[in-house]
């Protein structure tokens, strides 16, 4: 498949405005955001004080505001507002169509050359859009934000294949891409979800920083996200065992493949579990 696309509008987007927006969001985020210039973005986690994940979010500096592509917007909005005390910061929902375009031909179709998390304004046909390069999925992947769903979908259907949820899950399992609420939730920390690139331990304090730093410094991470090859049908939430003992649980199932959180020493390709084997991410 050269180009695929799927609708992600239901996930949610937040606009953060006010003169203190960059400072406040940076103090809440696990990654360094303070150096982002207009037109740049970064992937980050937002966590509780206990280091548990609220969201894995793409933050875009649009100059006059920050745009947050969120999988858990209501909870994230409340989290930001909880820490807004005297700061000049306002959070509101951003209404737009959000479609992911992916595959080897995606960049050519969209007419962009972007580094990961960079974004730009463009036209697709006669539709003005904003394009963001995001995590790899079936090759390079891009979020396209637009006000006009009908024209955008017509353009994409003329050039690519509409992907069903099962297609997306199959790709997520292969590449080890976590999503809310299956893998990203307040049961787990970013290290467990293998979101190391979304964490900076040199930026200074952020909410949950002490716990997150201690987990890695003292090797206290208990479980890791793993890809399984299943030997029998399993379901999301089902316990994973080894020699009859519980060692984790399944989070996403796609055919004979699955994502699961398993004990960290077992999250190694080749490890045999009861009814499953750990295999490498692609």
Q: Which residue has the higher pLDDT, 193 or 127?
A: 193
The answer, yes or no, to whether residue 197 has pLDDT greater than 80, is yes
d(CA 189, CA 213): 11
Q: Provide mean pLDDT across the span 233-250.
A: 98
pLDDT digits over 61-105, tens only?
A: 999 999 999 999 999 999 999 999 999 999 999 999 999 999 999
d(CA 54, CA 78): 11
Stated length of the chain: 282
pLDDT digits over 110-145, tens only?
A: 999 999 999 999 998 888 999 999 999 988 999 999
The answer, yes or no, to whether residue 151 has pLDDT greater than 90, is no
Q: Does domain 1-157+189-220 have CATH number 3.30.1360.120?
A: yes
The answer, yes or no, to whether residue 148 has pLDDT greater than 80, is no
pLDDT digits over 259-272, tens only?
A: 999 999 999 999 99
Tell me what pLDDT residue 222 has. 97
Domain borders along the chain are 1-157+189-220
Q: What angle do CA 150, 154, 158 make, to 5 degrees?
A: 175
Whether residue 54 contacts residue 46, with contact meaning beta carbons closer than 8 Å, is answered with: yes
Q: State the pairing for strand pair 97-102/4-7.
A: antiparallel
Whether residue 254 contacts residue 227, with contact meaning beta carbons closer than 8 Å, is answered with: no
Q: Provide mean pLDDT across the span 232-248.
A: 98
Q: How confident is the model at residue 1 (pLDDT cuts 50, 70, 90)?
A: low
Output the 3-class SS for 110-132.
HCCCCCCCCEEEEEECCEEEEEE
Strands lying side by side in the sheet with 127-134: 119-124, 127-134, 141-146, 97-102, 4-7, 161-162
Tokens of 166: 């099962």
Tell me what pLDDT residue 125 has. 81
CA 43 to chain centre: 8
Q: Provide mean pLDDT across the span 221-230.
A: 98
Whether residue 4 contacts residue 167, with contact meaning beta carbons closer than 8 Å, is answered with: yes
């Amino acid at each position: 498949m050269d180009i695929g696309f799927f609708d992600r509008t239901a996930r949610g987007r937040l606009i953060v405005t006010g003169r203190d927006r960059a400072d406040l969001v940076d103090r809440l985020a696990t990654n360094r955001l303070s150096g982002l210039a207009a037109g740049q973005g970064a992937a980050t986690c937002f966590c509780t004080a206990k280091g548990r994940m609220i969201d894995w979010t793409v933050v875009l500096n649009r100059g006059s505001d920050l745009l947050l592509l969120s999988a858990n917007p209501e909870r994230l909005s409340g989290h930001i507002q909880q820490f807004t005390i005297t700061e000049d910061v306002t959070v509101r929902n951003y209404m737009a169509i959000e479609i992911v375009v992916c595959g080897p031909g995606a960049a050519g179709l969209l007419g962009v050359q972007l580094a990961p998390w960079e974004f730009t304004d463009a036209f697709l046909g006669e539709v003005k859009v904003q394009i963001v390069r995001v995590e790899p999925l079936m090759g390079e992947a891009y979020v396209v934000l637009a006000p006009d769903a009908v024209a955008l979908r017509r353009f994409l259907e003329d050039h690519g294949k509409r992907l069903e949820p099962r297609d997306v899950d199959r790709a997520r399992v292969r590449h080890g891409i976590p999503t809310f609420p299956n893998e990203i939730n307040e049961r787990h920390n970013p290290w467990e979800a293998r979101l190391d690139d979304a964490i900076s331990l040199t930026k200074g304090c952020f909410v949950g920083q002490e716990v997150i730093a201690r987990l890695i410094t003292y090797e206290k991470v208990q479980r890791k996200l793993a890809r399984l090859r299943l030997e029998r049908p399993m379901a999301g939430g089902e316990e994973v065992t080894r020699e009859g003992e519980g060692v984790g649980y399944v989070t996403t199932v796609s055919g004979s493949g699955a994502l699961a959180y398993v004990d960290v020493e077992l999250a190694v390709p080749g490890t045999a579990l009861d009814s499953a084997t750990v295999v490498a991410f692609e």
